[in-house]
A and B are shown apart, each in its own frame.
Chain A
Amino acid sequence: MKQHYWNEYQKAIADDHFFYERSCIRQTFFPGSETAFLRIMREELGKDIRDEANQHTCTGIGYHSDIVPLETTMTVVARLFSLMSDAGYENYVPSCVTSFGIFTEMIAMWNHNPELLEKTKKVLFDTIGRKFEIPLNLAHPSDIIYKFRNELKTKMKFQLVNRFTGKPLKVVEHIGCHYAKIFPEAGIGKAEFPHVLVGMIESWGGEVVDYPERRHCCGFGFRHYLLKENRGYSIANSKKKFESMEPYEPDFIVTNCPGCNLFLDRWQYTIAEMNNKTYDKNGYGIPVLTYEEMAGMLLGYDPWLLGMQLHQIQVERLLDKIGIPYNIDEKYKGISGQVLPRPENPINLLV
C-alpha cells in the first residue's frame, strides 16, 4: 500500500475562535467526548471556542428520514448560524458528522441557488426576526484535532503503542459517510481515502489497518435502523466489516461519526449474543472509541470522565495495553460520587 496518496488533499481549517454545536445523540451515547473536545481546545491548545446554550437540533435525522422537509431544515440551519453571528463568530464547528453534512449541503445549495438563500433569510427574519451569515469556515471537530495533532502529541502522556510488545497498536479507522462522501472536498483526503483519522493515528504512534471492507458502510444508515424491519441490513453491514478486519487482530476501532461509533460498538454485543461470535480472539470484542476519547486518553484524562465506561465493549484491556492508569472502583460512580447501578453482563460477550 502506498500511504502517500491518503494525505494529498487538505482543506482549509480556521486557526482559532470557533462556534461549537453539540450533537443530539453523542451526549447520550458518548457523554464525555464533547466535553473532552472543549477541554482539549481550551486547556491543551488555548483556543477560543463557544459552547452556545441556546443551540438546538440541525434536524439531520429527521431530514434524512423524510420527516423534516428541506425548507424546514434550511431555516433551522439558518437559525443556528444566526446564533453564531450574534455571538460574533465566523468559524462553525458541528460535533456530529450528520450535522456537518447537513451544513455543507445547505451552504452548497445556497451558493448554487442564491434565491434559496434570500428566501431562507426572509423566512427566518419574518418568523423570528433573526439574521444570519454563512460561516467563513466550516470544519468538523475531527478536522481541528487533525490540524493540531502534532501540537497535541507534544502534550500527550501516552502513545498508541503496546507497552508489552513495544509495537504500534493496530487501529481500524472508520469515517462517517456524511463527512466526505456527499461533498468530497469537505473532508481531509476526500471521499475514498480520507486522512483525517489516519493522520491522528499515525502521528500518535499507531498503525492503521487497511482491511478489504475498510470503506464499507458501518451499518448505521438512517432507514437501516430507524425501521425495525430493516435492522437486519444494518447488522449485516457491520458483521461484514468485523469479519473482514478480524484476521488483522485490531486493538481498537476509532470513528468520527456518532452512528458509526454506536453501531460498531453495540452490534458486536448483538452478534455475540445471537451467534456466540466475537471478533477478538479472547472473546471481549474490539473496543470502539471516538477520536476525542482517543486523544483524551493519550493526554492522560481519566477514562471514566471521558465516558468510556458507557461503551458496550469494555476498554480496560486496551488501557492496560497502553499503560493508562484507571481506578476500577470509580468506573460506575457519578460526578457527585454516587455509586450508579452496574449494567447487566452479557451472556456470551466477555466484559
Chain B
Amino acid sequence: MKQIAIIGAGVAGIEAASIVSKNNFKVLLFEKENDIAGNIMNKARLFPDFSLAVELVNKMRAKINHPNISLHLNSEIVDIVNHNNEWELTDKKGTKYKVDTVLLATGYTPFDATLKEELGYGIYNGVITSLDLEKMFQENRILNSLDEPPGKIVFLQCVGSRDEKSGNDYCSKVCCVTAVKQAIEAAKLLPDAEIYIFYMDLRMWGQSFEELYREAQETYGVKFVRGRISEAASTFDGKIQIKAEDTLVGTPLKMTTDFLVLMVGMEASLGTKALAHKCGIDGPYGFALGKDRFLEGNNTTQEELFVAGSAKRPMSIADAIADGRSAACTIIESENRSN
C-alpha cells in the first residue's frame, strides 16, 4: 500500500485524506494545531446558508475516522526533501517520516490587520476584524466598549486584499459575501442597529451569493457604500470616527460608529510559504503553484507532490473541499497510471 503524507488537516486535506484512504493509500495526516479545521472552528455560521460551522467540522471529523488514516496533531512539518523518489518529512520535534507521495494542504492565514495602521486595529477597542466578530457570534451577543448593544456597525471590505500598500494585489474572494453574511447575522441580533458596508466592488460570484446581497438590503436594511475608509480614530465618547469617500456620490464623508469591522483577506500561511519554497513550487505572494490552471491544477512541477485548497490561492470552504476531492482523484489517477 502506498504511503501519502497530507500536510494540513483543514477541509481540503481532510477531504483528500478521506478519499485516498479508501483507495489503497495509507495516510499520514499532519496538523500543526491541536485540532483539525482551525480556520472553520473560528467561525460561527457559514455562508450562504448560515449552517453551523461546528456541524461541518463534526462531519469532517467523521471523514477521517478510517483505519488507513493516522492523524498527527501538534505536528508541524518544517522540512521536506525528495531522496530517490521518496519524500522525507521532518516535523518540529525532529521526527522524520518517509512517504511515497505528498499533498500540500497547508492553507491560509488571515491578514494581520495591525499592518493597516491607519485603521487602528490593535489600538482602538471599537476596531475589530471579521474573525473577532465571529467570536461574538459564537457567544451570540455583540456589546460595545460600554457593554451596550451597538447602535451602528460599519464593515470595511478588502483589508489586506486588492491593496498595493499591504503588498496583496489579489482578491481574497470570500470577504464580500462574508461581510454580507455577517451584516445579516448582526441585523438579526440587533434589529435596531444601523449597518453599513464600505466596498470597492461586490463580487457575488457563488451560488446564492447575489440573492444574499439582495436580501441584506431588502430584508435587513443593510446600507452599501462604494468607497474606501482612509482613517479611523477614537471619539470623545469612545466610539470610532471613520473618514471615507463615497465614490458614487463623489463626496468625502465622516461617520461615527460603535464598531468598525475589518474584513481581513487571506494570505498564504507560514507553512504554505515555507514548504512551497522548499519544494520549489512557490508562486506569487507565497502561495503554492499548481502545474497549470486547467487540467493539472493539483499537480506540481515535482513528481509525487500535489497541492490542494487555499495553499494555492484564496478560496471558499466549498471550493477548498472540492479542490481536496479533485486532488485525491488526481493522486489516485496518477497511481493507477503508474501501475
Contacts and interface: CB of A to CB of B under 8 A. Distances in A.
A192 B123 CA distance: 11
16 contacts: A1-B123, A1-B124, A2-B122, A2-B124, A5-B114, A5-B122, A5-B123, A191-B117, A192-B117, A193-B117, A193-B123, A210-B234, A212-B233, A212-B235, A215-B231, A248-B236
A41 B241 CA distance: 40
Contacts of A190: 117
A282 to B, nearest CB: 20
B215 interface: no
Would you call the interface of chain A mostly helix, strand, loop, or mixed? loop
A319 B268 CA distance: 56
Contacts of B234: 1, 210, 212
A192 B125 CA distance: 17
Contacts of A248: 236
Nearest to A209: B236
A192 B122 contact: no
Interface residues of A, number: 15
A1 B233 CA distance: 10
A2 B233 contact: no
Contact of A212 (B118, B122, B123, B241): B241
B117 A214 contact: no
A214 B123 contact: no
Interface string B121-138: 011110000000000000
Contacts of A214: 233
Contacts of B231: 215
A215 B123 contact: no
A213 B125 CA distance: 18
A247 interface: yes
A210 B239 CA distance: 12
Contacts of B241: 212
A191 B165 CA distance: 13
Nearest to A6: B123
Interface of B: 114, 117-118, 122-125, 231, 233-236, 241
Nearest to A248: B236
Nearest to B256: A212
Contacts of B236: 211-212, 247-248
Interface of A: 1-2, 5, 190-193, 210-215, 247-248
Contacts of A191: 117
A215 B114 contact: no
A248 B235 CA distance: 10
B237 to A, nearest CB: 9
B232 to A, nearest CB: 9
A210 B235 CA distance: 8
Contacts of A2: 122-125
Q: Determine which residue in B122, B123, B231, B234 has the highest number of CB atoms from chain A within 10 A of its CB, and name it.
A: B123
Top 9 A-B residue pairs of the complex, sorted by shortest distance between their CB atoms:
A192-B117, A212-B241, A212-B233, A247-B236, A192-B118, A5-B123, A212-B235, A2-B123, A210-B234
A172 to B, nearest CB: 13
Contact of A215 (B124, B125, B233): B233
B202 to A, nearest CB: 28
A173 to B, nearest CB: 14
For A193, A212, A213, the residue with the greatest tally of chain B CB atoms inside 10 Å of its CB is: A212
A212 B117 CA distance: 15
Nearest to A247: B236
A210 B117 CA distance: 15
Most chain A beta-carbon neighbours within 10 Å: one of B117, B124, B234, B235:
B117
A1 B61 CA distance: 41
Contacts of A211: 233, 236
Given A5-B114, A191-B117, 8 more contacts: A2-B122, A2-B124, A5-B122, A5-B123, A190-B117, A192-B117, A193-B117, A212-B236
A21 to B, nearest CB: 30
A70 B318 CA distance: 55
A247 B236 CA distance: 7
Nearest to B232: A212
Contacts of A5: 114, 122-123
A90 B124 CA distance: 41
A248 B231 CA distance: 20
B155 to A, nearest CB: 20
Contacts of B235: 212
Contacts of A215: 118, 231, 233
B230 to A, nearest CB: 10
A23 B291 CA distance: 60
Nearest to A215: B231
